Structure 1
Amino acid sequence: MLAVALKGAFVSGSLIVAIGSQNAFLLKSGLKNNYVMLVASICFLGDILLISTGVLGVGALMEQSPLLTKGLTLFGIGFLCWYGFISAKSAWRGQSHLDIDNGEVNRNWVAVALMTLAMTFLNPHVYLDTIVVLGGITSSLSFEEKKWFLIGALTASAIWFYGLAYVAKKLIPIFAKPKTWQVLDSIIALIMFSIAFGLAKPFVS
């Protein structure tokens, strides 16, 4: 079961680390020392809700429909291949960068919390990654395996968000270097392709 948990951690971690609006906001909060742990906690609680829904909720629904399971699994394979290709291309061209504005952030904790909720739940890619993709990836797993996958996924989420909050100021100079992004994108691409290959085996064997 440890292998399943590690798979959950790798897949979830690879989807989470892409620097989007949510992570940029978390990094900016860390730079400004602006309720950064509150931001990290909301991000993590959002993942608990969304990832659990994808792995357990959608997965349980798909158990009753083999056709839906196959379709969503194929969709997951396609998405992972696309994600891996984009990451590989970004690594090759050195396209990724960190874009955090230098503007002032709101010191009101309520405003910060509301902004974090918006970054978390108003982003359509969040639902695609956590519910659709993870639901498809785990559709063929047993309930016990899904629990371990979920443990691994949420562990990766907690380490990423709280770790990023803790070391935000130290990471900014590192992620300002294009070489760092090329290494990160390369690792993400390898993980995405390897998971997609594993999912595709039953269809070609």
Structure 2
Amino acid sequence: MDVFGIGLATGLTLILAIGAQNAFVLRQGLRGEHVLAVVLTCAISDALLIALGVTSFGHVAAILPWLETGMRFAGAAFLIWYGLRSLRSALQSTGALVVDEQKPSASLGATLLTCLALTWLNPHVYLDTVVLLGSISTQFPGAQMLFAAGAITGSFVFFFALGFGARLLRPAFANPASWRWLEGAIAVVMWLIVLKLLWPEAQD
């Protein structure tokens, strides 16, 4: 497999796990709300972080030793709040998906702010993109950017497939109970990530 293909496969492997960001993209795709803007925001953010990791691996932590701890606690606080919001929706929601709904329930600005927070306040995003992909890229001297291009392509493929492919699940989510289960699952995912952020030993 060439360097581009290795980057593509590695990027897809790291991003496939369902996390806070992916759960949000899935939810937006199911609702059909601002899907293009959301998937572009996620993919471009990943691209920037991958480029940072490949070009600057090892320097960021040395320059900003406090960054990992600060991002860890900020991300945990945000995910606790987002999980509570999802749990409340799971317990109280009685609505079902209306495919031909004309007005989105959230503005573009509010949606993008949530998307950016789930991306840039999540330390695991930095671990996967900056640290892991950055370190792997050092195995390909002179071809790091080709590796990065493969990983970035993987991010675009994944987010577009998740966001626009979610519409295939829309018939199932015409049932209000399906939305409650999804919101409850999102709350659980958020809080599991919080446990890993605040107690790293829980990952072992």
**Would you call these one fold, judging by a TM-score over 0.5?**
yes
TM-score range, shorter chain: 0.5 to 0.7
Cα distance in 2, alignment partners of residues 20 and 171 from structure 1:
19
Instruction: Provide Cα deviations, 1:118-155, integer angstroms capped at 9, x if missing partner.
Output: 01001110001101111111123223x11110111111
TM-score, length-scaled by structure 2 = 0.60
Q: Which residue of 1 aligns with 2:18?
A: 19
Q: Which residue of 1 aligns with 2:145?
A: 147
Superposition CA RMSD, Å: 2.8
What secondary structure sits across from 1:19 in the alignment?
Answer: coil
Map 1:60-139 to 2 at 5 A.
106-139=105-138
Q: Which residue of 2 aligns with 1:29?
A: 28
1:106 touches 1:112 (CA, 8 Å); kept in 2? no
1:42 touches 1:117 (CA, 8 Å); kept in 2? yes
Equivalent pairs, count? 136
- The 1:106–1:116 alpha-carbon spacing in structure 2 relative to 1, beyond 3 Å, is farther
Give 1:106 deviation, angstroms.
Answer: 4.2
Cα distance in 2, alignment partners of residues 14 and 140 from structure 1:
18
**What is the identity, as a one-letter code, of the residue corresponding to 1:26?**
V
**What is the identity, as a one-letter code, of the residue corresponding to 1:19?**
I
Cα distance in 2, alignment partners of residues 171 and 160 from structure 1:
17
**What is the identity, as a one-letter code, of the residue corresponding to 1:153?**
A
Q: Which residue of 2 aligns with 1:44?
A: 43
Give 1:11 deviation, angstroms.
Answer: 0.6
Q: Which residue of 2 aligns with 1:162?
A: 160
Cα distance in 1, alignment partners of residues 139 and 10 from structure 2:
16
Cα distance in 1, alignment partners of residues 130 and 136 from structure 2:
10
Give 1:107 deviation, angstroms.
Answer: 1.9
Instruction: Provide Cα deviations, 1:32-85, integer angstroms capped at 9, x if missing partner.
Output: 1110111101001101110001112217x59xxxxx9xxxxxxxxxxxxxxxxx
Unaligned runs of 5+ in 2: 63-85, 96-103, 173-177, 179-204
Q: Which residue of 1 aligns with 2:197?
A: none
**What is the identity, as a one-letter code, of the residue corresponding to 1:163?**
A
1:15 touches 1:129 (CA, 8 Å); kept in 2? yes
Cα distance in 1, alignment partners of residues 168 and 31 from structure 2:
13
Percentage of identical aligned residues: 38
2:32 touches 2:167 (CA, 8 Å); kept in 1? no
Pairing 1:53–2:56 present: no
Unaligned runs of 5+ in 1: 63-67, 69-98, 177-205
Q: Which residue of 2 aligns with 1:7?
A: 6
TM-score, length-scaled by structure 1 = 0.59
Give 1:171 deviation, angstroms.
Answer: 5.2
Give 1:168 deviation, angstroms.
Answer: 0.9
